Structure 1
Amino acid sequence: MGKGRNGEGLAICGAACICCCFVGIGLALLGLGIAKIVMGAIHLHDCPLQDKVPIWLIVSGVAPIFFGGSARKEEEDGEARSVWVYPTYGTVNKDDFVPCIGNVTTGCSQDCHKPTLTFAFAMANF
């Protein structure tokens, strides 16, 4: 028979698989952070209804990249996202919401770039 113990190759393969999963998850989270930064920066001035939503996207994308996603950051971040993102998302998605665009100036509300707001809402729930 061959040299080595039974199952040694399987253990090495399993360890390599776990390593690849961790690297893949790390790269996906890095990409998500970069997507938040880009989306917030591009649409920084496109949400007059709540101008802090794009800022929250930028900060929530930068903080884990530079600070490793510390637990303290998550506690503070949780309050900001719930105060800024949820009410804004609810307001914009109401059936009777009328954005102030064009000649509409009465009975309307400031709008927010919907893809940015939807992305922020999804990231707040992630």
Structure 2
Amino acid sequence: MSAESDEAPPSYNSLFPDKMKPNQIGRNLRRGLSLGGSDESETGGKGCVHFIASLGCLLFIVGIALGIPITMIVIGASNLDDCPIERYIPIWLIVMGVFQMIETIFRTCFHGSRNDEDESQGSVDPVACFLCAWFIAGNVWVFRNWNEYTSVKMMNVTNITSSNYCDDLTMKFSFGIIISSYLLVGGIILCFCLCCCCFLKNDS
């Protein structure tokens, strides 16, 4: 076996340019706000360019990342009392949206303050752990009632009572969020497997 085949697969950090990482964006923003870079080669106009580019990337990422959480909060809050079949579904949307916003803002704006040594040491993110557990709870509440609910509040029709009712948008939006999350995770895993396969094939 050749010496090249003994090399380890590429790391996560090597697959993405440093300038697009949240921690690098945060560092560039701090350099711009301090009117210069970390050394003399990055002072003046170059630091200003880094600041403008990083600010543009930051606004773009935050605008996209916060769109879905804000929509979740709005739909959940506006239909808080319109899902008697499972009153936790609108609450699930609100809490999920709020904590996703917190997680997005933290990772985008404040992750850059961490040192490289801190990044190399594994740490548990309590917000991410809570989101994972809350997501599983939402799966139970939505899928358990998906085939039982009616989107029309019909009080005087046989076999249909007010307890069967849930706002159609609230239920379908929650269902769509869950399915989209599974598709996103599956797509990431598939892309990672394809990258590993291509790397091993080229290395052999």
Shared topology, TM-score over 0.5?
yes
What is the SS of the residue equivalent to 2:147? helix
One-letter amino acid of the counterpart of residue 71, structure 1: A
1:50 aligned residue (86, 89, 93): 86
**What are the Cα deviations for residues 31-90 of structure 1, in whole angstroms up to 9, with x where unaligned?**
111111010000000001011000000000001222448321232122211111112223
The equivalent residue for 1:116 is 170
Q: 1:100 to 1:107 in 2, by over 3 A?
A: farther
Equivalent residue in structure 2 for 1:86, among 135, 143, 160: 143
**Change in 2 beyond 3 A, CA 1:24/1:88:** farther
Instruction: Please identify, of 34-43 and 18-27, the stretch whose mean Cα deviation from structure 2 is larger.
Output: 18-27
Query: What is the alpha-carbon distance in structure 2 between the residues aligned to residue 107 and residue 63 of structure 1?
Result: 38
SS at match of 1:29: helix
What code does the residue aligned with 1:84 have?
A: W
Task: Give me the whole-angstrom Cα distance separating, in 1, the residues matched to 2:76 and 2:178.
Answer: 13
1:16-55 matches, within 5 Å, as 23-55=59-91
TM superposition score normalised by structure 2 = 0.45
Paired letter, 2:171? L
Question: Which has the larger Rg?
Answer: 2
Identity score, percent: 32
5+ residue gaps in structure 1?
1-11
Q: Cα offset for 1:27? A: 1.3
Secondary structure of residue in 2 paired with 1:57: helix
Q: 1:87 to 1:101 in 2, by over 3 A?
A: same
Q: What does residue 96 of structure 2 align with?
A: 60
Count residues in correspondence: 108
Deviates more, 1:45-54 or 1:20-29: 20-29
> What is the alpha-carbon distance in structure 2 between the residues aligned to residue 89 and residue 24 of structure 1?
35
SS of 1:61's equivalent?
A: helix
Instruction: Quickly say closer, same or farther: Cα 1:19–1:118, change in 2 above 3 A.
Output: same
Q: Is 2:139 the counterpart of 1:103?
A: no
In the alignment, the residues of structure 1 paired with residue 151 and residue 60 of structure 2 have an alpha-carbon distance, to the nearest angstrom, of 43
Greater helix proportion: 2
Name the CA shift for 1:85/1:22 in 2 (closer, same or farther; >3 Å).
Answer: farther
Retained in 1: the 8 A contact 2:86–2:145? yes
**What is the root-mean-square deviation in Å for CA atoms of aligned residues?**
2.9
* Deviation for aligned residue 1:100: 5.7
